[in-house]
Structure 1
Amino acid sequence: MAAYQLAQEALAAEFSGRWAEALAAVEARQIAGSLTELEAAYVAAIRESAAASYALSIAFYRLVRALETGRVVGGPGYRPGASLGSLWVDFNRATGKRTGSGPSTPLPVDTRNPFPAADPAREARRAAEAFRHQVADRVERHERERPAREGSAALDDPELVAWEREFLESLKTGGSGAGGMLVQDGGRDAVHIALQDDPGAIGYYRKTDDSPCYFCALMAGRGAVYKSKRTAAFGAHPHCHCQAVPIFSRRYQLPAENDKFTRMWRDFGGGSLADWRTYYRTTTKT
């Protein structure tokens, strides 16, 4: 599981790096006239990394399912005669690391394909919307403020330079957060939709990173979430690295972090989400 989560985080980081490079190639004064090129680079980077996230998640789902049920599921990437050994090879290739191996005995096959088909048009719309909110709208506001900020100041005026630097940093941070979420959603959606449509799956649990926000800690503290229409949404957010880990047997074991967050919620004793946020931040600082 750690290798899977780290690989998903690496894909988001890879996107963020490409976005930072695209921004670095344009000066702040030129960004308003470069939005078309920046959007094209932004959307292309998201779609490329999201496709890798999708493939990684399918390899992960198929491997976990086979390990827990002894059966392999069909769908994208399935190869006839698949074994635990070949599934580990596929997963290792997707993560870029050698994390496990298994026998080469072919597994029984469930031919049902629970994985969602790629929807390039939807992905492009979501990426374009993220760009509009996190980049284009910020640029528009920045350009409206520019005349008043510049006045008669020299281009190297420290306050003006700091203002431009802060603006560029907001584009980098906001664009990276929204785009990185969409990148990992390529895989998160694949897992979450598959487990809803897979008769062999019974639910999932939320695996957080090392320092989750108060919301993700609360969601992880729920423990196992059994599939139903009510639990059909995962609830990721910008800069979130949580993953849905599918469960195929009642004999699952939750990570220690989930148990810790469950105990924290119990000790909290109830209250509003804002109260929980304060309690969580205070508790995790001690």
Structure 2
Amino acid sequence: MDDHWQAQARIGTAVSGQTLAHWARVNPRSLEETGAAWLGWVLALIRSERRRSRDQAAAFYRLYRAMETGHTLPPLSGEHVGEATTLGELREEWADQAGTVRAPEPDDGQTIVLEGFDWPEEPTEAHDRAAVASLTSQGPARVREAAREAQEAPVEARGRLDGSGFLQELDEAAQSAGRTAAMAADREALRAGRDLIDRASAQDRRVVGWARVTDGDPCAFCAMLASRGAIYASRATAAGGGRRKPVGSSDGRRRANRRPRVALEDLTRYHNGCHCQTVPVYSRTDFMTPQARDFDRQWQEVTRGLTGAEARRAWRRHIESSR
């Protein structure tokens, strides 16, 4: 699973860097023209990288499902490949999509049965609308708002609008907007891969739950989500935070510092710059990765004796201090 979020992160980080580099062509004093040109260029880049994210996510899904269940899904391309494949072939596909080199594994020859499945189509127009809205609000709109506030300020407080002080502040606002827009582009580039896993797993009859896997530097909320392991046995119980009581635990002991309830919509929500992923779970035994167990231990220690908002504040301070 770490290989998956890291491969997706490489896509997002590359898009972020290119977006920020191209932002240098945006002139705050001719924002309509240069901002529109920047938006068109970045949107074309994001469309291309969304396809990469989606193809990569499908390769991960096929390999991960095979290793968890001994069964997998047909290729995303729809190409007919027979009734079965092997773990080795699925690993080759993943390595090709992720751009990595893999070493041979002893079980490469294991037969994996292909099950019938119709992959969901990407809602391209909806994804384009989301990208335009996000990029515009985080980039040009921020510059426009900074200019408007400066123009509406009292003259004695701001000086001449063509003065060096005003122009410097406008350039600083543009630089800040470029950074936030680059982070938004990162998220939009990964939208298709995340959406594919979310929608495919909703149709996958073998999926029994979902879990959050964080990147290497999660925010407090993402770390809290990961600490819960597999909490959703079905979408119907998601809003109730349906994690089973851990074996050997005491309801009374855990009630004081229980984690906040979260809905599946929270589990699949990502902030700008976030490289976390949500993965399907195929076993009804308690799903706790080493990372999840570590976050679970930290939560119990940091929030001991605290409840509600106090527990959340303590957790946020703990995570932020360690980032």
TM-score range, shorter chain: 0.7 to 0.9
1:279 to 315, 318, 322: 315
Paired residue secondary structure (1:107) = strand
Would you say 1:219 and 2:225 are equivalent positions? yes
Distance (whole Å) between structure 2 residues aligned to residue 23 and residue 202 of structure 1: 44
Instruction: Tell me which residue corresponds to 1:111.
Output: 116
Quick one: distance in 1 between partners of 2:313 and 2:46?
Answer: 31
Indicate the larger mover: 159-168 or 120-129: 159-168
Q: Which has the larger radius of gyration?
A: 2
**1:228-239 map, 5 Å:** 228-229=235-236, 230=238, 231-233=263-265, 234-239=268-273
The question of 1:84 aligning with 2:91 is answered no
Identity %: 26
CA displacement at 1:40 relative to structure 2: 0.8
Letter in 2 for 1:120: T
Aligned CA-pair RMSD: 2.5
Code of the residue aligned with 2:122 in structure 1: it is A
TM-score scaled by length of structure 1: 0.87
Counterpart residue identity of residue 116, structure 2: T
Q: Which runs of 5+ in 2 are unaligned?
A: 239-262
Q: 1:19 to 1:93 in 2, by over 3 A?
A: same
Q: Does 166-175 or 48-57 show the bigger shift?
A: 166-175
Alignment coverage as a number of residue pairs: 282
The 1:257/1:163 distance shift into structure 2, 3 A limit, reads same
Question: How big is each residue's C-alpha offset from its partner over 1:122-155, in whole Å with a ceiling of 9 and x where there is no partner?
Answer: 111111111221123213213324556561765x
- Structure 2 counterpart of 1:130: 134
Amino acid at match of 1:228: R
Partner of 2:248: none
Q: CA deviation at 1:78?
A: 5.5
1:147-200 C-alpha deviation (Å, 9 max, x unpaired): 56561765xx4x446424421222222112222122222211211222221011
Paired amino acid for 1:204 = W
Quick check: 1:139 aligned with 2:143?
A: yes
CA contact (8 A) 1:55 1:94 kept: yes
The TM-score, its normalising length taken from structure 2, stands at 0.78
The amino acid of 2:101's aligned partner reads R
Query: In the alignment, which residue of structure 2 is the partner of 1:196?
Result: 202
Distance 1:273 1:166, change over 3 A: farther
Confirm or deny: 8 A CA contact 2:186 2:273 kept in the other structure.
yes
The 3-state SS of whatever aligns with 1:225 is coil
